[in-house]
Amino acid sequence: MKALYDICAPAKLNLFLHITGRRGDGYHLLQSVFMLIDWCDTLHFDLRADGQISREDLTTKLPDDDLVVRAARALQVASSSPLGVHIGIEKHIPAQAGMGGGSSDAASTLLALNRLWRLNYSLEKLSQIGLQLGADVPFFLGGRNAWVEGIGEKMSPVAVPSGRFLVVKPTEGLETRLIFSDPALKRDSETAIISGFAANAFSFGRNDLQSVAQRLCPGVTQALEWLASRGLSGRMTGSGSAVFAQVLQDIDLIGAPGEFQVRLCSSLDVHPLLGWAVSDGLSVSSI
């Protein structure tokens, strides 16, 4: 059966990530810029009339109750839709990399099913559902590069120059909770302003999680050293373990350590599904 929708779910890079404090409930206050890149998963959606939600892993084996299935179920419950879906997933974005692959898949699922099931939900309503799945899901729903603050819930669009980036994912992944619970984590960075970032977007700030991540995952250091051997200044994205560096000219990709994943990526100005849900009450069928 031919999929009714074949769509992509792009990854993101954190161009910087500062921890500025910690709330009384233990959540960390942060500042970051999330930038979309063209390293993507591909999802295929076929309508089911029987109300069942099924999934087929076309590349990597995923957990039974992954974010894609959870997103579909959450939207089905919220809408009381009698329809179902079969979802095929071509997984390419590495897991535990700090690139938001799972959250991006969940966001693309919500956008696709909003159309497939003819729900006409607004972007705001989808974001409320998405936030229950993960803090990064609303970013991918919003569809634009964003300045992020608070505990990750405050986002506003930000202009990011176009660029190419060499992204390196070590064999190992990293668990976010291990980094944020580490007593050595820097939690007192000064508050940054957008104009400071805009003056030098690709070299602004740092990733405050990186030093802890390097201690927990030697592959992060190996990846950074490999980038440095090619004259590139790298840093980790998100809570890792992937690292990246801006590339200004053609570069030899041969010689990466071990079984590291290495990919030359380009930034995206907007999400490929921008406009699949609207925020002004218009029907998605009118877009």
Q: Which CATH number characterizes residue 59's domain?
A: 3.30.230.10
The pTM assigned to this predicted structure is 0.94
My answer on whether 127 and 229 are in the same domain is no
As for how many domains the chain has, the answer is: 2
Given a cut of 90, is residue 279 above it in pLDDT?
no
Query: 187 and 253: one domain?
Result: yes
Which domain range does residue 190 map to?
164-266
Identify each DSSP E strand in 58-153 by its residue range.
84-90, 146-149
- Judge whether 273 lies within some domain: no
Burial of 172 (0-12, 13-18, 19+ CB in 10 A): middle
What pLDDT does 282 receive? Answer: 45
Domain edge (last residue) among 158, 188, 220: 158
Together in a domain, 19 and 90: yes
Q: Is residue 284 part of a domain?
A: no
- Looking at 128, 158, 188, the residue that finishes a domain is 158
Please give the pLDDT value at position 243: 98
Res. 284: pLDDT tops 80: no
Catalytic position from the list 12, 91, 125, 169: 12
Catalytic residue check, 136: yes
Q: What is the DSSP string of 117-159?
A: TT----HHHHHHHHHTT-TTHHHHHH-B-EEEETTTTEEEE--
pLDDT per residue over 157-171, tens digit each? 999 999 999 999 999
Over the stretch 94-137, which tens digit does the pLDDT of each residue have? Answer: 999 999 999 999 999 999 999 999 999 999 999 999 999 999 99
168 and 153: one domain? no
16 lies in the same domain as 153: yes
Q: Is residue 126 located within the same domain as residue 260? A: no
What pLDDT sits at residue 253?
79
Would 286 be classed as within a structural domain? no
11 with 153, same domain?
yes
153 and 197 together in one domain: no
In a domain? residue 272: no
Selecting among 41, 91, 105, 136, the annotated active-site residue is 136
- Same-domain status, 78 and 216: no
Distance CA 8, CA 30 (A): 28
pLDDT by residue (tens digit) across 185-235?
999 999 999 999 999 999 999 999 999 999 999 999 999 999 999 999 999
Q: Identify whether 283 is part of a domain.
A: no
Strand, helix or coil at 190? coil
Residue showing tokens 């490999």:
226
Query: What tens digit of pLDDT does each residue of 250-272 get?
Result: 888 777 888 899 999 999 999 99
- The confidence score (pLDDT) of residue 250 equals 84
**Residue that is last in its domain, among 131, 158, 185:** 158
Task: State what percent of residues in the chain have pLDDT above 90.
Answer: 88
Reported as a single tens digit per residue, the pLDDT across 41-84 is 999 999 999 999 999 999 999 998 899 999 999 999 999 999 99
pLDDT at residue 280, as a whole number: 58
Res 1 pLDDT > 50: no
Let me know if residue 276 belongs to a domain. Answer: no
* Residue 251 confidence (pLDDT): 84
- Verify that 240 and 142 share a domain, yes or no: no
Q: Does any domain span residue 260?
A: yes
Q: What is the pLDDT of residue 254?
A: 78
For residues 174 and 139, membership in a common domain is answered with no
Q: Which of 258, 180, 178 is nearest to 225 (CA)?
A: 258
Q: Are residues 119 and 229 in the same domain?
A: no
Spatial distance between the Cα atoms of 235 and 148, rounded to a whole number of angstroms = 18
Taking the C-alpha atoms of residue 43 and residue 201, their distance in angstroms, rounded to an integer, is 31
- C-alpha 1: how far from its chain's center? 30
CATH number reported for the structural domain that contains residue 242 in this entry:
3.30.70.890
**Residue 108, in any domain of the structure:** yes
Give 286's pLDDT tier (boundaries 50, 70, 90). very low
